[in-house]
Structure 1
């Protein structure tokens, strides 16, 4: 920014994640003799009233973000309790995983071959192989 330029932001929560971040950005604007255009209103943060108003807005923006996080966590807990939030579904069923482990144990197939055979990425093959249940193929004892 050059002196006299204005930083244009549609909403304060798009400018900073917390009050300290907003204050740092505000201090940087003051040091560069810049102004802040927030939602169409222009503020010169060197002015004490504008600085106070900016701090209040930053506090409310941080409060809104915190409330949103809290509500999201609460909704996720309710969904998890109802059994509707199970996380990402596995690419392979337990049977397919066991078959993959068996194929790997024979030594006939490389990781790349197994990935192509099961239509998955090599990283997925590695994850299946690293799982504790994958260490011993079904039907064998440890």
Structure 2
């Protein structure tokens, strides 16, 4: 049985091309699992877990269109491939099957995994550079505060009395406990605000 897996990094991207290619590779659409909005560097993906579980028996074929859809790091790619092989399943990348006992196949797999990781590193680097440029131009302001300044000031004042717990303040102001902690920390760091 062929089990297909497709992934895109954001919810705005489309899985159609990958799904069509998986079907062309012989995967029944009922056996295609996907993760829209998950990066390949995130190993905690529900669709991937389901696909691996479905392919956890001898003779199963785990199919991806490209290795970077499966993993964006050498370690993850190797771990996933090793898990499949240990279960007696075959990893198929496009039209090629990964054979861990074939020296050439092993080398090609490692090269593809290296490129997938390299590409992920380049994306991170470009994102960092773009954010630095935006910040220098004053276009990157950070997240909008959860509370307006007057409400945050009141929250901090109430906390300072010692009469209200963090949980109570979070409930009263309709924010998370972490937001209360950050507001109190900001007040301590900048008492003149």
Answer yes or no: same fold by TM over 0.5: yes
Tell me the matched-pair count.
Answer: 135
Q: Where in structure 2 are there 5+ consecutive unaligned residues?
A: 1-55
Cα contact 1:6–1:36 (8 A) shared by 2: yes
Of 72, 83, 97, which residue of structure 1 is paired with 2:138?
83
State the match for 1:19 in structure 2.
74
Of 109, 115, 118, which residue of structure 2 is paired with 1:60?
115
State the match for 1:98 in structure 2.
153
Question: CA, structure 1 residues 130+3, in 2 after alignment: closer, same or farther (shift >3 Å)?
Answer: same
Cα contact 1:6–1:34 (8 A) shared by 2: yes
Question: CA, structure 1 residues 133+26, in 2 after alignment: closer, same or farther (shift >3 Å)?
Answer: closer
- Could you give the per-residue CA deviations for residues 15-54 of structure 1, whole angstroms, max 9, x where no partner exists? 2332233233333444444321223x14141333322221
> 2: distance between equivalents of 1:44 and 1:107?
63
> 2: distance between equivalents of 1:32 and 1:122?
43
Q: What is the RMSD of the two structures over their aligned residues, measured on CA atoms?
A: 3.2
| Mapping of residues 1-142 of structure 1, within 5 Å | 1-39=56-94, 41-45=95-99, 46-103=101-158, 112=168, 115-116=171-172, 119-121=173-175, 123=177, 124-133=179-188
Structure with more strand by fraction: 2
Q: Secondary structure at the match of 1:62?
A: helix
Cα contact 1:18–1:62 (8 A) shared by 2: yes
Question: CA, structure 1 residues 87+35, in 2 after alignment: closer, same or farther (shift >3 Å)?
Answer: same
Q: Which protein is bigger by CA-based radius of gyration?
A: 1
Cα contact 2:62–2:91 (8 A) shared by 1: yes
TM-score by length of 1: 0.70
TM-score by length of 2: 0.55
